[in-house]
A = this chain, B = another copy of it.
């Protein structure tokens, strides 16, 4: 019997599958379980052995997204140095996850009443804290609420991910475009 659930080979495979599912759903958010399986190079049966169903898959992707966000937040050392530099580090750190984030961001629009995942609340909190810190240090304007800035950051990350996916923006410019727009805006500061 193999009901002992050892973290043997399955664990590695599962992560591979999850990654490829993320990559596919980022491009086509309505992809079938069959398509997800094919994209991962496995059969639908095996996919179901890893994830009980589509819900479970999306939940796992959400967990992955949260995990990567938290990791990026940690890596960005959010409370060190000027807030604007922290924002820059954050966007750079989160760039590889932007596609997944974009998928989850729109997917979350569906979870209507469904009590929003606690993980996101924690991330929102850390983001708003960063913007609030910038405001309190006099670095950021105070007429834009931290909640809106957080929301806007999500939106820009999603836009950036799609723009890159469709070739409207070069991959190497992703971080720059987002950070510069978010921090400085489009209006030219008369230098």
Which A residues are within 8 Å of any B CB, using their own CB? 27-30, 84, 106, 109-110, 112, 131, 134, 138-141, 143-145, 147-149, 151-152, 154-156, 158-160, 162-163, 168-169, 173, 176-177, 180-189
Contact = CB atoms under 8 A, between A and B. Distances in A.
Given A145-B169, A148-B177, 18 more contacts: A28-B112, A30-B110, A106-B109, A138-B188, A141-B180, A141-B184, A141-B186, A143-B180, A144-B181, A148-B181, A151-B160, A152-B181, A154-B159, A155-B155, A155-B158, A180-B185, A181-B182, A185-B185
The secondary-structure label for the interface of chain A is helix
8 contacts: A28-B110, A139-B187, A140-B186, A143-B180, A144-B177, A144-B181, A148-B177, A184-B187
A109 B27 CA distance: 7
B152 A156 contact: yes
A29 B139 contact: no
A29 B110 contact: yes
Contacts of A84: 187
Pick the 7 closest A-B CB pairs, nearest first.
A155-B159, A185-B185, A155-B155, A184-B185, A151-B163, A183-B187, A106-B106
Contacts of A141: 180, 184, 186-188
